[in-house]
Chains A and B, each alone.
Chain A
Amino acid sequence: MSENGKVSLTIDGKVVEVERGTTIMEAAKRVDVSTPIICYHPATTSKGLCRQCVVEVEEWRTLAPACITEVTEDMVVTTDSERVIRARKTMLEMLNASVDLSQSPEIQEQMEDYSADPDRFPGAKKRDHDLLDDNPFYVRDYSQCVLCWRCVQVCGDDVQKDYALAVGGRGHDSTIATFYDAPMPDTTCVFCGNCVGVCPTNALQDKTEFLLDKGLQFHEIRARRREERRKKSREE
């Protein structure tokens, strides 16, 4: 480490000096090198889940997720090696094989950038969940969920401290869930919608937007809301 408490490293051949504790992703930004992201969001704690930001570090056995890996002195980082590109491409192909990404333009763009083959794993099992429409504000379609964890994070410590969301199930069946799978109004949810604000795939979608998507007009959406409300008060 240099005397001023800074760390010097090389990223794609460019030398950069940054404060200790800086991540590779932040250091790369200083020299105008960017890495693709899916689970990373500046408003949430980075957790290295999606591995889309991986980079190659000289003499390291595995690829390193740039969002959580802190820089070290004399580190030599490559963000566009063949190994990195193959890894990112494969991850996109696997993700696409199991999740409906049709409403995730940013991920689709990455598929194009990396020439990912959408049909590489034709026999893969798709994540398949019913649409959850249980509150007046947003709908949840976990068939489109890439389990990036952002919604759980903003619902919890990172923003709202409300803890209405968590991950349920194991392995392929993992999904974002509420306690006992309760409908949102029966949970601690305060409908801040901050989860919707950070969802990268439209798995969480504003309900008005969802209904417009289905071709409804504004006055029809209003009428539908009135009907749902009447139904609910009849049930009570």
Chain B
Amino acid sequence: MVDAQRSVRTTCPYCGVGCQLDLQVQEEHIYGVKAPFNVAPNYGRLCSKGRYGVDFVHHPSRLIYPLIRKDLETRPRKPVGLEGFRRASWEEALDLAAERLAEIVRKHGGDAVGTFCSAKATNEDNYLFQKFVRGVLGTNNVDHCARLCHAASVAGLQIAIGSSAMSNSIAEMKDLDTFMVVGSNTTEAHPVISTFMLDAVVKKGAKLIVVDPRGIQMTEFATHWLRQTPGTDVAVFQAMAQVIIEEELYDQEFITNRVEGFEEYAESVAGFTPEKAEEISGVPAEQIREAAILFGKANRAAIYWGMGISQSVHGTDNTLSIANLALLTGNLGKPGTGLNPLRGQNNVQGCSDSGGLPAVFPGYQSVADPDIRGKFEDYWGVKLNPEPGLTTMEMVDAAENGFIKAYYVMGENPMMSEPDLRHARHVMEQMDFVLYQDIFLNETGEYADVILPAGSFAEKRGTFTNSDRRVQLVRPAIPSPGEARADWAIIQDLASRVEEKLGREHSVGFAYETPAQIWDEMADLTPPFQGIDHDRIERESGVQWPSPTKDHPGTPYLFQDSFPSGKGKLTPLEYSPSAELPDEEYPFILSTGRVLYHWHGGTMTRRSKLDDIYPDPLVEIHPQDAENLKIEAGEWIKVRSRRGEITVKTLITQRSPAGTVFIPFHFVEAAANELTLDARDPRAKIPDYKVCAVAVEKAQP
């Protein structure tokens, strides 16, 4: 038996569940992971990624010293591997980066810089990042991958109730009564959460309604599985609302006291019968009716959703259609209910909370609001830009049009995660300057001029905020390899240099000694965090915001008495079809998503032993389609869209319906986003990763 020299409690770097891990360390090497049984949110439970997937931190391809591109002046810039860079000192790399950024700000203004902060970095890293961007560069062009995942959930929930975090807690899941899971492959994307949901089904007899085109594992536990054609969610939920109103299963008291727009909404869905929804979605009318009655009659009913709702050209409408159901039935503001978007990245909640968004300071305080801006201007001692910045994909557009000259990318991989990659690459080639800060060289870093090596989650201190708003500690277990440094320390040194080169007389403040000091500054400026500090999190092993004072216990579920927007709002909707539908030339629907053993762009899991169990990019194809195309199981086939083509290995399965193929987006050698369509939800600006048209053919005819 190996005896750990140290066991270090920290927070999992993968998904938004925020599992607590005990890293087992020997000779500065993490050789194993255990889970403590007595702490929230996971109580000893882990999934394959948390337990076996953190070995990426020891991968030999970690970036261990700063790098500068050899052919700095060549245009258009080409993506290069490590051989295209030379080793530099921190001094030289930071000076060069600061000089180029300062030069671009002087010449073109701060809005000529586009920046990506990171849902994988800590709250402290992100707070400091946006402070640098807003306070020194003078722009609000800061965004992160939340734009590509839950932006539509945020947009929809803001309209419906004025708040976008998950309303209820993971702790409530095991006692659910009735719940609906929509567009979330929970057992693979949030495995530990799924085990608590299924506790309710298996041990307490809870009723589960799954709405999903794919035969995901959750369907095996469902009372009702509504299998809609991809992209037709709104029709299903409109019809459920119609049934609930017709059968008078709505919560009149809740509506009277807390909801507006009922009359108008009821009128708008009056004709939207389950039969009409069946024509659009393919879900039998009777199933819709039964599910609606089950949901409407439940004492407590919760709704959970994932990317299937938000990553859509009508993602905001999708969100509103389920928010309508919760508002109609009064399923908000008490345990076991709520509107619960399951957050993807470990710290996507926290990165958004910490101001990593173009229109808001930390705590979702609007940059356009003069009073709020004044508060930050006083605190930081600098005049701030009142114009909301650009979103990730708008930054790509602005770069294409020449408005944005430089990118600063921290811990993100837009060159894997953006839709329509061919277009995104073209934009990268034209940039004046690209600064990249990460733990590995990924597809985005290959375009960089300067690379700053960062410390991984296992090498730094700070906090992550999980899906149920629980702020938890990240603790260093091992030293960073080579000269890699924590993100917050890098940002601080870079920011001071840029201030100097811009000739600023006063620094907005980059002299922190610990991440705890950074948190304290953010909490000072952000009312819902004011009761939270690192010491308290240490004592209580996590605090759920809002916690406005030190003696406030934190908030397991929101909206007990009211919504941030006052009254909840029912929104009439109209069904609209997807942006690109199958035709003769491209007869299949392509849906993209995740698998259990991999994570997003694959930067981490492809460098982990997880890759041993799932080494190849698989495409799910229905047996009927495979037979028609004479495709064998395990055969490599070509999938082609109007934008690109990739080669993938066949997995013949009835999981995806006939006419639909599913490809995970983790594999650089077969990047699903070569195929996807850059069609965006008009309000949330989120691209549609779930529906586009493709052709499928044998690789060698």
Could you list which residues of chain A lie within 8 angstroms of chain B, going by C-beta atoms?
42-43, 103, 105, 135-137, 157, 159-161, 185, 190-194, 196-198, 202, 206, 208-209, 212-213, 218, 225, 228-229, 232-233, 236
Contacts and interface: CB of A to CB of B under 8 A. Distances in A.
Nearest to A154: B45
A157 B27 CA distance: 38
A192 B48 contact: yes
26 contacts: A42-B37, A136-B52, A137-B52, A137-B609, A161-B198, A191-B48, A191-B597, A192-B46, A192-B48, A192-B51, A193-B52, A194-B44, A196-B51, A197-B35, A202-B1, A206-B31, A209-B31, A212-B2, A213-B1, A213-B2, A218-B27, A218-B29, A225-B612, A228-B612, A229-B612, A229-B615
B43 A137 contact: no
B191 interface: yes
B596 A190 contact: yes
Contacts of A197: 34-35, 44, 46, 51
A105 B1 contact: yes
Contact of A185 (B24, B203, B613): B613
Given A136-B609, A157-B202, A193-B48, 17 more contacts: A43-B44, A43-B45, A135-B613, A136-B52, A136-B612, A137-B48, A191-B52, A192-B48, A206-B32, A209-B1, A209-B32, A212-B2, A212-B26, A213-B2, A218-B29, A225-B609, A232-B612
A213 B37 CA distance: 25
Contacts of A236: 634
A196 B27 CA distance: 23
Nearest to A202: B1
Main secondary structure of the interface of B (DSSP, over half): mixed
B195 interface: yes
Interface in B216-252: 221
B502 interface: no
A141 to B, nearest CB: 12
Interface in B120-136: none
Interface string B597-628: 10000000000011011010000000000000
B89 to A, nearest CB: 28
A3 B615 CA distance: 64
Contacts of A185: 613
B6 interface: no
Nearest to A136: B612
B34 A136 contact: no
Contacts of A225: 609, 612
Interface residues of B, number: 36
Contacts of B32: 206, 208-209
B58 interface: yes
A63 to B, nearest CB: 28
B606 to A, nearest CB: 12
B58 A191 contact: no
A211 to B, nearest CB: 9
B45 A159 contact: yes
Contacts of A160: 195
Given A202-B1, A209-B2, A161 B195 contact: yes
Contacts of A161: 195, 198, 202, 221
B47 interface: yes
B635 to A, nearest CB: 12
A202 B3 CA distance: 13
Please name the 8 residue pairs, one residue from A and one from B, whose CB atoms are nearest each other, closest first. Answer: A136-B612, A193-B51, A191-B48, A161-B198, A206-B32, A136-B609, A209-B2, A137-B52
A99 B337 CA distance: 49
A118 to B, nearest CB: 18
Nearest to B52: A137
A157 B55 CA distance: 29
A192 B198 CA distance: 15
